[in-house]
Amino acid sequence: MSFALPSLLYDYAALEPHIDALTMQIHHTKHHGTYINNLNGAIQGEHGGSLKGLSLEAICRNVNSAPEAVRTTVRNNSGGHWNHTFFWTIMAPSGTAASAPSGALKNAIESQFGSVDSFKDQFNKAAAGRFGSGWAWLCMNQNKQLFITSTPNQDNPLMSGIAEKPGLPILGLDVWEHAYYLKYQNRRPEYIAAWWNVVNWDTVAKYYDEASSGKAPVLDVPLQ
């Protein structure tokens, strides 16, 4: 069995005008698809035996234990697969999901950051300030406190021994140029500001509840 590209829950054009259809199509089929193909190649190759049968989450969590010959490939591409699978789920067309956090999630954000607006400001700074390619994250630590962090390339906070601030992600933003360059060119802050219009707060709340129970986001990771 090998990993397969997950289907989106919305059309490529559904996030317009905030994220354009062509970017979504290329991002999903080409970029995400390439991470999956590379990961499958590493697992199925001569050095990937110990990785066969592991879940995507388990591979990310234990990437430092991957065989040295494929460790960098596995790190980059398992992260790329998990990060994008997660990313698609925390977006939705405007008007189809909660447009702001509420309930326990809102209370936690306000408790940790002072207000939702203050949280967004701090998250925006982490996303805009990530040098080069990477991600910005809202996570929960082992003390059930929320925190903001960013990671380079396709690293994520699940990666033990790699992430500067490990935790359970509940929200994440891709700030690689391929996520926004066709529409926003070098205007990353404009992309970040527009992205809040398509955040699926219902799903973020679900991931918050899962993290509160000590679980990473439960993602649909198809196999073929």
Mean pLDDT of the chain: 97
Q: In 45-161, which ranges are continuous DSSP H helix? A: 56-61, 71-89, 103-113, 116-129
Phi-psi region of 6 (alpha: psi -120 to 50; beta: other; left: phi over 0): beta
Q: Is 174 annotated as a binding residue?
A: yes
% of the chain beyond a pLDDT of 90: 94
Q: Is 20 annotated as a binding residue?
A: no
Distance CA(10)–CA(147), nearest Å, equals 29
Query: Whole-prediction pTM value?
Result: 0.97
pLDDT digits (tens, 9 = 90+) for 108-149: 999 999 999 999 999 999 999 999 999 999 999 999 999 999
Instruction: Give the tokens for residue 38.
Output: 């590379």
Yes or no: say if 114 and 122 are a contact pair by the CB < 8 Å rule: no
What confidence tens digit (pLDDT) does each residue in 200-210 have?
A: 999 999 999 99
Distance of alpha carbon 210 from alpha carbon 206, whole angstroms: 6
CATH number of this structure's domain 19-89:
1.10.287.990
Give the model confidence (pLDDT) of 33-72 as tens digits.
999 999 999 999 888 788 999 999 999 999 999 999 999 9
Where do the domains of the chain lie?
19-89, 103-212
The b/e string for 162-191 (b: 16+ C-beta within 10 A; e otherwise) is bbeebbbbbbbbbbbeebbebbbeeebeeb
Is 27 annotated as ligand-binding? yes
Q: How confident is the model at residue 153 (pLDDT cuts 50, 70, 90)?
A: very high
Q: With pLDDT > 70 as the criterion, what percentage of the chain qualifies?
A: 100
Residue with tokens 């001569």: 46
11 is in an annotated binding site: no
Q: According to CATH, what is the number of the domain 103-212?
A: 3.55.40.20
Q: Which two tokens stand for residue 124?
A: 């925006």
Token pair for 94 = 């405007």
Choose among 104, 109, 132: nearest CA to 120: 109
Nearest to 119 by CA among 106, 134, 103: 106
